[in-house]
Amino acid sequence: MDFKGKKVLITGGSSGLGKATAAMLAKKGADVLITGRDDQKLKDVATELNCKALVLDMNNKGAIKGIAEEVLSVLGGLDILINNAGIGEFALLEELNLDAFERVFQTNVFGLAMLTQALLPTLKASEGDIINIASTAGGKGFAYGSVYAGSKFALRGMTQCWQAELRQHNIRVILVNPSEVPTAFNVADRTEKELSDGKLTPTEIAHTIVSALEMDKRGFIPEVTVWATNP
């Protein structure tokens, strides 16, 4: 795929792997729109990367349809949707509460699905691509992970359903599973975690996303998992 002029939406694009992916695609000539919850941070990143920005909190159920319409108004279409926005909460079974499930699933599953649904007619018209960012937690659970891993297992299953539904429309739906990457998704003040020797950085995941999209449209990678070589 030649990215020049391609219209791209990246949710959660103001930091971490979303920002790294936006930077890589913008450098390749794509017209990139990023979303996030912090208006000023979005503006600063959009200026830095020479891309567009819209405020979106995936937990705001009423905002999804409106933001989809605004995305299409700003971009004038859509070729690539990268569903990257995600949050996590962690607790032992005896400490779980429904509010945590609702917050995490609204962002990681429900809001993601409803945003994709709202943009689907445009993606069908453009025979576009959908990238869903899940996690290695979507393939193996862990202690304290009921809420987060549950949401990523759900996203993995949902992605497989979309693949079955959308291949006939020449829409590639690709699941990307990073192992641990320094992010701000579980940090109260939304600051980025420090990079760590041996562990993945957002750049490796951005490279994976871009490489999967660059494949000729006659083929696609249904799922790709990225591990640090020697963490």
Over residues 178-221, the pLDDT tens digits come to 998 876 555 455 566 677 778 899 999 999 999 999 999 999 99
144 in active site: no
Cβ–Cβ under 8 Å, residues 11 and 82:
yes
Cβ pair 108, 87 in contact under 8 A: yes
Q: Could you tell me the pTM of the whole model?
A: 0.94
Element (H, E) at 7: strand 7-10
Kindly name the residue from 3, 105, 148, 153 that is annotated as catalytic.
Answer: 148
pLDDT digit string, tens, across residues 70-111: 999 999 999 999 999 999 999 999 999 999 999 999 999 999
Domains and CATH numbers, the chain: 7-226 (3.40.50.720)
Q: What is the pLDDT of residues 128-185, one digit of tens each?
A: 999 999 999 999 999 999 999 999 999 999 999 999 999 999 999 999 999 988 765 5
Give the mean pLDDT of 35-63: 94
Structure tokens at 18: 């979303």
Residue 181 has what pLDDT? 84
Partner residues linked to 91 by β-bridges: 145
Contact (Cβ atoms closer than 8 angstroms) between residue 170 and residue 199: no
